[in-house]
Amino acid sequence: MTDNPFAVAVAVAVFTDEPKREVHRTLDAERVVSGDPQHHTRFFFESEDGALVSGTWTSTPGKWHAFTDRDEFCYIVSGHCRLIDDKGFTREFRSGDAFLIPNGFRGFWDVIETTTKHFVIRSHEP
């Protein structure tokens, strides 16, 4: 045990530890624009109220409507993907890229090759 409370807090969400929960998911058909994206999410931290979560997410190729009502920090571990906003502006991301998707983003995820990311999400859902 350490006397450093910061070190203890960081150890709670180490991405190489066993996840607290895992979810395999196929997206609802009305969200999918192209392909058949399959998601595997490993949650390493979840706040008591569920508003803050972190983990590792992997998606197979496909394009779908992005979630809204959340802030999401992403770090791409592997793969190639892009985000496309509702006006058509596109940003591509590959291994080593980090970015924030702000609450209210409207647009699409487009996974070009299977992508894995670390994420931290703060939900703003009612």
DSSP 69-80: SEEEEEEEEEEE
Whole-model pTM: value is 0.84
**Strand partners of residue 22:** 42
| Structural domain boundaries in the chain | 5-123
pLDDT computed for residue 6 by the predictor: 45
Q: Write out pLDDT tens, residues 52-111.
A: 999 999 999 999 999 888 999 999 999 999 999 999 999 999 999 999 999 999 999 999
* Ramachandran angles phi, psi of 6, nearest 5°: -65, -45
Please give, one letter per residue, the 3-state secondary structure of 12-64.
CCCCCCCCCEEEEEECCCCCEEEECCEEEEEEEEECCCCCEEEEEEEECCEEE
pLDDT computed for residue 7 by the predictor: 46
Q: Binning pLDDT at 50, 70 and 90, where does residue 10 land?
A: very low
For the segment 41-61, the average pLDDT, to the nearest whole number, is: 93
End-to-end CA distance of the chain: 38
- Is pLDDT of 11 > 90? no
What's the topology of domain 5-123?
Answer: Jelly Rolls (2.60.120)
